[in-house]
Amino acid sequence: MANIGFIGLGNMGGPMAANLAKAGHQVKAFDLSTEALDKAVQAGCMKVENALEAIQEAEFVISMLPAGKHVHSLFISSEVPLFDHIPTGALVIDSSTIEADVARSIAHVANERNIEFIDAPVSGGVGGAQAGTLAFMVGAEKPQFEKALPILECMGKNIFHAGDHGAGQIAKACNNMMLAILMAGTCEALNMGMKNGLDPAVLSDIMKQSSGNNWALQVYNPVPGVMENVPSSNNYQGGFMVDLMFKDLGLAMNLSQLSSSPTPMGSAARGLFNLHKEQGNGQLDFSSLINLYQEK
């Protein structure tokens, strides 16, 4: 079993670290949140006092942070950059969702210092993180991907080698733009059905068996009470926050501009999530977008 340093124990990182410990790995976990650290310890991880302590003797270092600036700071630009202390032979796996060019630049710096760094953002939500069924989209050289694979398989079910460094982030931006579009469309359709007298559970079942079927209907229904154990049935708590979806749509729009790719539906989805966010809903799960369509 491997020695793993895990930094970032939020809604996604916490369950991921727990699954690594469950698989028998020694996981030294760190987060700024005491509550998150305590949960990690309960799940079998070893609590450490800082990020530097987390990477001591590590064979793998995994980071799960909010944005590219945090990843860059952690490894390169902080007062104690981890790239100055990464053990020889360790592989750094960044599962944060960040800009593809930032992932490439960090990988370039890592390569100059003879450090292995790959981008491996995830999809599957908190439920997937808890169940160990995440999808990983990996940007790496092939030997690096093969080295990371046994570790990633402890946390995910579908592991994809998207391409070289940064490719994982491009795939994630495309996926989350599609997710935002699908959720917005699902909210519109369910709201219209409800306003015309349909039971949202019945309408959801109809669409799941018809050509409108999609992931949101299958496992993440935005209407409270239609599904158990989803954020909409928990006051939109505990899932993927509106703030994070808005950030990810910003990454997608940046990619679209850099590549001159038309994204009219992605742009419309970002506008909707921005409006929802500006109404004070940034900390709610992104499926709460359905509230934007409903009269208060």
Q: Are 139 and 118 in contact (CB under 8 A)?
A: yes
Q: Catalytic annotation on 147?
A: no
The answer to whether 257 and 151 have CB atoms below 8 angstroms apart is no
Q: Which residue in 140, 164, 138, 171 sits closest to 152, CA to CA?
A: 138
Give kind and range of the element (H or E) at residue 92.
Answer: strand 91-94
Query: Are residues 200 and 206 in contact, defined by beta-carbon separation less than 8 angstroms?
Result: no
Catalytic residue among 28, 39, 147, 172: 172
Other beta carbons less than 10 A from residue 134's beta carbon: 26
41 within 8 A of 176, measured Cβ to Cβ: no
Hey, what are 267's tokens? 């742009």
Q: Catalytic residue positions?
A: 172
